[in-house]
Every structure is written in structure tokens, then in C-alpha cells.
Amino acid sequence: MKSVRTAALDVLTDLGSGVLLAVAFYSFAIPADFPMTGVSGVALIFYHLAGLPVGIMTIVLNIPIVLCCYRTLGKQFYLNSLKTTIITSVIMDVLGPRLPAYHGELLLAAICAGVFCGIGYAIVFMRNSSTGGFDFIMVTIRHYHPHLSLGRIGFALDVVVILIGGFLIGDVDAVIYGIILNYLYTMILDQVLYGTSAGKLTLIITDFPEEMVRAIDETTGRGATVLNGSGGYTGEDKSVVMCASSKKEMYGIRKRAHEVDEKAFVIIVESNEVIGEGFRLPQDTAL
């Protein structure tokens, strides 16, 4: 039953992503004539250089990408991506031409296209899938260089395609708007993928560790860890209460900390990702 629910959720995710991408491309990007990115953008470059058909070149370019990335990404990711590609492509081709086209300010078109693209692609990646093409390359690079985010990788690849395509077409304005679109897309992508698991890490140096742990639990329901430390100058033993929380919960922890111990030394730092019970699950961290 769980597998059926998972499959149904995957399909609904692909349908939702297809709608968002259809809006991004057909309502904003295509009417504004922004440069294409990804494999289609590379195929367009070959069209300008040698007159090769864009559709055929898109298929030809995808073949080596699939062959090179298949072993790294695995069979399941490939099958998920194949399903997602088919569903999103059908939704885009069926729904896209029926959507109203925006012919207003190019900057607004770039912003809207970038936001819709970012959300659309992010929810696909969150389901351990992709739309093929450059997505395979992005995830493969991420596999070997996990310190890089998918957004940064995608932005670097797309900017190269945009610059080359813009040079061949000779439209500087299109290049600028294309870079703005892709910058917003990658920022939204990273924020949705990684920002949802971000939080705060609070370190409290106190003489009342047990009371502090209870206060945190009563205030937020979060657990805390007590670390043993010593003052670098005085050499006195100190207890450090460490607690990971959401940004909203952090304010309650900070307030309660000084109610328990007026002399408590509180350090609050950003936590890009929190993985574990009550936060993001380990199996959700592949991307």
C-alpha cells in the first residue's frame, strides 16, 4: 500500500511540475524569446553553427549523457527520470499552448519564468527524479562533489550555454535576461531543496544545564545535548547545552535561556541542514 501511495504522489508531483514548467516556458520565456538552456540550448547552438535540426540534435546529445551518467545515477533514478520526463513533456505540450502569453516587461517575464522554473524543478528533485538532459549532468556532478548545490551547478552550465548562444545570435539583451532568469531559477531551486531543512543551532554556556534542558523541552518540545567544556582563560569546568531547532523555535529558546540563567552565554548560528528525527530524514538527503 505504501508503494502505491508513493507512486501516486510521484505522479501528482510530476503533473504539478509539468504545469509550473508550462507556465514558465509558454507564458513567460517563449513569448519573451529568451535564449534556451540545457540540452535544447546546446542543440540550438549546433543549429546556428551547422544548420542541424534542433529536435534530432536534442535526442543525439541526450544519448551520451544517459550512457555516461547511468552507472552513477543508477537504474531507479533513471526510470524515475524517464517517467517524469514523459509526464512533464506531455503536460507542457498539451497545456502550454493554451495558456495566456505575457507580453509585458521583459524583466518581469524573466522573474516569473525563473520562479516557476525553480519551484517546478525543485519538487521533481525532491522526489528523487529529474527531467533528463542537463539534470543528469547536474546530479552526477553533485554525486562526486557533494559540497556543490544543484542550483550552483545548474547555473554554471546554463550560463555557458546562454553566453555561447547569445554570441551566435548577437542579442545582448536576451543574454542578460536569460542570465537573470537562470539566476532566479537556481536560487529558488536551492532554497526549496535545501532551505526547507535549514534551521538554527543554539549553544548555551550555563551553570544550570539540567534546568536549561528541561526549559527547552517545555518551550519547544526539542531535545538538547549537554557537552562538557572548560573556560579557556579560567580553566573552570562549564556545561554547554546544544540544541538544533527551527528559526521560529529559536526565539523561544533564547528567551527561556536567560530566564533560567541570567548569566548564560548564548550563541546562535545558522544551520544549513539539520538531518535526523524531527527534521529532514537521512533518506531524503541524496540531493
Residue numbers of the domain that contains 228? 199-271
Looking at the domain assignment, is residue 287 inside a domain? Answer: no
Looking at the domain assignment, is residue 278 inside a domain? Answer: no
Q: Where are the alpha helices (DSSP H) in 24-133?
A: 38-50, 54-73, 75-95, 106-126
Average pLDDT over residues 243-262: 87
Q: Which three cell numbers stand for residue 228?
A: 562538557
Report yes or no: 67 and 137 within 8 Å, Cβ to Cβ.
Answer: no
Average pLDDT over residues 266-276: 75
Is the domain of 32 the same as that of 155? yes
Looking at the domain assignment, is residue 279 inside a domain? Answer: no
Asked if the model's pLDDT at residue 120 lies above 50, the reply is: yes
Is the domain of 14 the same as that of 102? yes
Is the domain of 96 the same as that of 210? no
Looking at the domain assignment, is residue 284 inside a domain? Answer: no
Report yes or no: 192 and 116 within 8 Å, Cβ to Cβ.
Answer: no
Q: What is the pLDDT of residues 52-93, one digit of tens each?
A: 765 577 677 878 888 888 888 888 888 888 888 888 888 888
In this structure, the chain runs to a length of 287
Burial profile 227-236: b = 16 or more Cβ within 10 angstroms, e = fewer: eeeeeeeeee
Is the domain of 115 the same as that of 203? no
Is the domain of 22 the same as that of 120? yes
Is the domain of 57 the same as that of 171? yes
Asked if the model's pLDDT at residue 15 lies above 60, the reply is: yes
Looking at the domain assignment, is residue 84 inside a domain? Answer: yes
Is the domain of 17 the same as that of 30? yes
pLDDT at 55: 56
Is the domain of 38 the same as that of 149? yes
Spacing of C-alpha 241 from chain mean position: 32
Looking at the domain assignment, is residue 30 inside a domain? Answer: yes
- Cα–Cα separations (whole angstroms), residue 7 to 3, 12, 53, 179: 6, 9, 36, 35
Q: What percent of the chain has pLDDT over 70?
A: 88
Distance from C-alpha of 253 to C-alpha of 218, rounded to nearest angstrom? 10
- Cα–Cα separations (whole angstroms), residue 26 to 32, 36, 131, 162, 174: 9, 13, 17, 19, 16
- Cα–Cα separations (whole angstroms), residue 34 to 37, 76, 98, 104, 131: 9, 34, 19, 14, 20
Is the domain of 17 the same as that of 36? yes
pLDDT at 272: 63
Looking at the domain assignment, is residue 277 inside a domain? Answer: no
Q: How confident is the model at residue 278 (pLDDT cuts 50, 70, 90)?
A: low
pLDDT at 171: 76
Residue type, 31: P
Out of 177, 196, 215, pick the residue that ends a domain: 196
pLDDT at 248: 79
Q: What is the pLDDT of residues 176-234, one digit of tens each?
A: 888 998 899 888 988 887 765 567 889 999 989 999 999 999 888 888 989 998 877 77
Is the domain of 94 the same as that of 206? no
Q: What is the pLDDT of residues 16-49, one digit of tens each?
A: 998 998 898 889 988 887 877 777 778 767 766 7
Out of 174, 196, 218, pick the residue that ends a domain: 196
Q: How confident is the model at residue 285 (pLDDT cuts 50, 70, 90)?
A: very low
Half-sphere exposure of 284 (CA within 13 A, CB side): 16
Distance from C-alpha of 40 to C-alpha of 161, rounded to nearest angstrom? 10
Looking at the domain assignment, is residue 283 inside a domain? Answer: no
Please state the domain count of the chain.
Answer: 2
pLDDT at 169: 67
Q: At what angle do helices 134-144 and 106-126 cross, to 10 degrees?
A: 60
CATH number at residue 237: 3.30.70.120
Asked if the model's pLDDT at residue 108 lies above 90, the reply is: yes
Is the domain of 22 the same as that of 164? yes
Is the domain of 67 the same as that of 92? yes
